Amino acid sequence: MLFGRTKKNPIRLPDKGVVKWEYATCGYCSTGCSIEVGLDAEGRPVASRGVADADVNRGKLCLKGIFEHELFTTAGRGTRPLTRGHWQEPWQATDWDSALDRLHDEIRRVQERHGRDSFAIISTGQMLTEEFYTLGKLTRGLIGTNNYDGNTTLCMASAVSGYKRSFGSDGPPGCYEDFEHTDCLIAWGSNLPEQHPIIYWRLKEAQERRGFPLIVVDPRVTMLAQNAHIHLPIRPGTDVVLMNALMHVIFAEGLQDEAYIEANTTGIDALRAEVDRWDPITASKVCGIDEDSIRVVARTFAQAPAAMQIWTMGINQSTHGSDGVVGINNLALITGNIGKPGGTSLSITGQCNAMGTREWSSCSGLPGFRYLEVPEHREEIARFWNVDPEFFPKKRGMFQTDIYQAMEAGQIKGLWLIATNPMTSLPNTARIRRAMEQLEFCCVQDCYVDAESNQYAHLYLPGGTWAEKDGVMTNTERRINRVRPIATPPGEARPDLWIFNRVAERFNRDGRVRFPERAADIFLEMAELSKGRLADISGMDHDLIEAQRGIQWPYTAEQRARGEAPPKGGKRLYTEEASFRHADGKAKLIPLPFVDNNEVPDADYPFWLNTGRLIEHWHGRTKTGKIGNNNKFSPIPFIEINPDAAAELGIRRGEYVRLVSRRGDAIAMAMPTGRVPRNLVFLPFHFHDCANRLTLGLLDPHSRQPAYKQSAVRIEVIADQRAAARLSREMRSF
Ligand SMILES: Nc1nc2c(c(=O)[nH]1)N[C@H]1C(S)=C(S)[C@@H](COP(=O)(O)OP(=O)(O)OC[C@H]3O[C@@H](n4cnc5c(=O)[nH]c(N)nc54)[C@H](O)[C@@H]3O)O[C@H]1N2
Ligand SMILES: Nc1nc2c(c(=O)[nH]1)N[C@H]1C(S)=C(S)[C@@H](COP(=O)(O)OP(=O)(O)OC[C@H]3O[C@@H](n4cnc5c(=O)[nH]c(N)nc54)[C@H](O)[C@@H]3O)O[C@H]1N2
Ligand code: SF4
Ligand SMILES: [Mo]
């Protein structure tokens, strides 16, 4: 006798009437999945699917990619430029010419009155590379403010800084294919299954095949920690101590790779002297990981033939962010795990084009990983752009986070915000509000008119988004991939590239500097500039990139001329001896003393506040908050709280609570879960006027990245739950 179903019910997908599929790269996270958008007979985007022959995602997409075609018709898009005298006045619709004239005139007015650098420009990791490059040329070559930075200071700055300190250059040395070769993986402060689901799928497949140990360092029992062999629930902000202790054990037991250290590094003596102080017992008292676990992990890592480390915001967003990255690099270098298959230190980047902005935006320097501090770099770029080299500043200006403090102090008077929303994403909202209120002029260029920062704008420019535009993006593994213009921006909204080119015309009346109109031509200009640099893309063009479903840099003109095919994945940096980018070709081993400067829980504020992300939402939710199938999973702010802590406070599941820090308060729903320890709550930062009203955001001394993950709060019970629900709703703009 047969039990259960005897016939399988085939899954029936509704026919969306797709007549044509158009190629793009997903515009959410830095995994860089190749995606196709299906258009119906009327040319309307009606479906999304993964591209089967793309090496990155092999036909798969996550929850965000699957519904990405719905973006084009979401609510809240800006359809006309808007202007007003003061941010408290009502908006008036205006035409593009008047809007762009005003932007030009205000920039020059502020600069003439308060000095060149009193006008700041803040960009993003969420545009296309050709757009970054054009904005960089406009800012560095014509506008001339040095206070030009990106939201990547909130995100990747520590990784950039740590890579530069260790290896002499930015640029993650590994790739996804390393999962196929590694014998041990440590993931530091990264929740891969939720934040980079398709990278996780690659890791999981490799791990199921080969069973290498997975070690996760995270104060929460994340989805990744649940799947790990060893989970180290570290005390927040103390990763550097654990790294020092791991190195202590490796040296004490002679597990280091002497030959690699000798041939490729400098600084071993100073490093050893510092880690000598961090025996596992001493370290365990600071970082909360017991001495046995420290020893086991150190041996497992050092004895693996190839071992890799990945990390994300649990490391970068800390007052020891840059040091944490250096610590990871130290561990990799002393065990010879750089530049070999399965042996690497791979920063998992964040936004879709966080890498592209590092390479080409000129935010912290000049294009192609060139520096303002190097006279030859200034000369080279000035000649190429046809501008005066003396016009360039001789060192980098303020980081994004310092720009807000300068606004507060009245040093910065004007601001152009492009595709970033500081009123939701910067720490300590009350301070950001004070800073924004003081501006003489603020222009917001965003695809959504309801982005909260627009509240303080005098001028609003409606940009296009994602595949309403043409260009490329670079993912975590340095793979450049193509985005095709599939839809047109709504109403009078225009692609950001169009906007930059029209602004450039106003600063470039004599036509001295060339601003190509087509993204494909801009790419060729970048390719030319990249020759001989670390990120050499001179062998690529738009068509080849699309045909290959993305190409990893470097791929040079010479390789192409020789008939060498573009790498199909598996491309690594620093594969040859002494090929690091410090002058002597060696990597630096850097000692990392630990200073405990974080705000820590005390009697008044007894809980750690840890903030981060959910799979279904993207940052400030301007996009995912309006897509039903994303928003429905978590339409309101909530905290993960330990069930024992909730019981002790008399809080039941689903009740609203008030969180209070030294900066402000916020309302969220309590969701008791064993994912968090007794003394810590986790609050997603996706909701406006919530997490960042509470955060302190102390800055890393090297990268100026905020410590979003270490603040202290207390939790208050709310008697009137109806009023709390109403308030929570009102505080969200959508
Ligand atoms: N769905 C979705 N995906 C995204 C994004 C999104 O908004 N939504 N954003 C993208 C962007 S820009 C980024 S930067 C990435 C971020 O990706 P992740 O960094 O993976 O995400 P987060 O949730 O910010 O933080 C990761 C983990 O750090 C842990 N953590 C907190 N404090 C510490 C600590 O002191 N030490 C250690 N070791 N760990 C700690 C947290 O508990 C959390 O689980 O995600 C990208 N992908
Ligand atoms: N508490 C806490 N705060 C955090 C973090 C955290 O973990 N905890 N993480 C930090 C990190 S890692 C990051 S990366 C930041 C992100 O911070 P933000 O950059 O502020 O995040 P988004 O909400 O993605 O903002 C992007 C804005 O650009 C708009 N936009 C999107 N695409 C386009 C486009 O193509 N053109 C134009 N013109 N506009 C566009 C969107 O509508 C949105 O308003 O948040 C940081 N803030
Ligand atoms: S994993 Fe990232 S790139 Fe891939 S579909 Fe999801 S959000 Fe897009
Ligand atoms: Mo990020």
Nearest to 237 by CA among 598, 712, 621, 686: 598
How high is the pLDDT of residue 677?
A: 97
578 pLDDT more than 90:
no
Contacts by 729-734, CB closer than 8 A, 24 or more apart: 729/636, 731/666, 731/667, 731/687, 731/688, 731/689, 731/690, 732/636, 732/637, 732/687, 732/688, 732/689, 733/450, 733/452, 733/688, 734/75, 734/76, 734/450, 734/621, 734/625, 734/626
pLDDT category at 3 given cuts 50, 70, 90 is: low
How far is the centre of ligand 2, averaged over its atoms, from the C-alpha of 537 (Å)?
A: 27
How high is the pLDDT of residue 604?
A: 98
Residues 318, 452, single domain; the answer is no
Protein residues with C-beta less than 5 angstroms from the ion ligand 4: 155, 350
How far is the centre of ligand 3, averaged over its atoms, from the C-alpha of 400 (Å)?
A: 26
pLDDT category at 564 given cuts 50, 70, 90 is: very high
Q: Please report whether residue 362 resides in a domain.
A: yes
11 pLDDT more than 80:
no
1 pLDDT more than 80:
no
Q: Whose CA is nearest to atom 14 of ligand 2?
A: 155
Ligand nearest to the CA of 78: 2
pLDDT category at 144 given cuts 50, 70, 90 is: very high
Residues 146, 161, single domain; the answer is no
Residues 334, 359, single domain; the answer is no
Mean pLDDT (whole number) for 688-708? 97
Residues 338, 426, single domain; the answer is no
Q: Ligand 1 — pocket residues by CB below 6 A?
A: 29, 155, 188-191, 194-196, 217-220, 222, 234, 236-237, 239, 312-314, 318, 350-351, 610, 612-613, 615, 617-619, 709
pLDDT category at 695 given cuts 50, 70, 90 is: very high
- Sequence-distant (6+) residues with CB within 8 A of 66 are 48, 629
Q: Which of 131, 317, 420, 621 best tests ligand 2's pocket when mutated (most atoms within 8 Å of CB)?
A: 420
pLDDT digits (tens, 9 = 90+) for 56-78: 999 999 999 999 999 999 999 99
pLDDT digits (tens, 9 = 90+) for 104-128: 999 999 999 999 999 999 999 999 9
pLDDT digits (tens, 9 = 90+) for 502-556: 999 999 999 999 999 999 999 999 999 999 998 999 999 999 999 999 999 999 9
Structural contact between residues 593 and 179, judged by C-beta atoms closer than 8 angstroms? no
Range name among 9-23, 183-197, 274-288 with the lowest pLDDT average = 9-23
pLDDT digits (tens, 9 = 90+) for 632-673: 999 999 999 999 999 999 999 999 999 999 999 999 999 999
Q: Please report whether residue 186 resides in a domain.
A: yes
How far is the centre of ligand 4, averaged over its atoms, from the C-alpha of 481 (Å)?
A: 19
Sheet holding 119-123, edge to edge: 92-93, 82-83, 459-462, 441-446, 414-418, 119-123, 148-150
Ligand 2 touching residue 30 (CB < 6 A):
no
Of 465, 482, 515, the position where a domain reaches its end is: 515
How far is the centre of ligand 1, averaged over its atoms, from the C-alpha of 677 (Å)?
A: 18
Q: Ligand 3 — pocket residues by CB below 6 A?
A: 26, 28-29, 31-33, 57, 61-62, 64-65, 196-198
pLDDT category at 6 given cuts 50, 70, 90 is: low
CA of 316, closest atom in ligand 2: 12
CATH number, domain at 198? Answer: 3.40.228.10
Give me the percent of the chain exceeding a pLDDT of 70.
Answer: 98
How high is the pLDDT of residue 569?
A: 72
pLDDT category at 46 given cuts 50, 70, 90 is: very high
- Number of domains the chain contains: 4
How far is the centre of ligand 1, averaged over its atoms, from the C-alpha of 311 (Å)?
A: 9
3 state SS of 704: coil
Ligand nearest to the CA of 618: 1
568 pLDDT more than 90:
no
pLDDT category at 4 given cuts 50, 70, 90 is: low
pLDDT digits (tens, 9 = 90+) for 450-488: 999 999 999 999 999 999 999 999 999 999 999 999 999
Of 44, 73, 102, the position where a domain reaches its end is: 73
Expressed as residue numbers, the domain containing 690 is 607-732
Q: Whose CA is nearest to atom 46 of ligand 1?
A: 350
pLDDT category at 383 given cuts 50, 70, 90 is: very high
Of 314, 347, 380, the position where a domain reaches its end is: 347
Q: Please report whether residue 433 resides in a domain.
A: yes
Q: Please report whether residue 383 resides in a domain.
A: yes
Residues 378, 479, single domain; the answer is yes
Q: Whose CA is nearest to atom 19 of ligand 2?
A: 420
- The pLDDT mean for the chain works out to 96
Q: Which amino acid is at 306?
A: A
181 pLDDT more than 80:
yes
* CA 417/CA 434 separation, integer angstroms: 16
CA distances from 255 to 223, 592, 650, 682 (A): 31, 20, 51, 37
Ligand nearest to the CA of 426: 2
* CA 551/CA 449 separation, integer angstroms: 35
Q: Please report whether residue 558 resides in a domain.
A: no
Residues 492, 631, single domain; the answer is no
CATH number, domain at 53? Answer: 3.30.200.210
How far is the centre of ligand 4, averaged over its atoms, from the C-alpha of 330 (Å)?
A: 24
Ligand nearest to the CA of 314: 1
Residues 106, 240, single domain; the answer is no
Mean pLDDT (whole number) for 291-307? 98
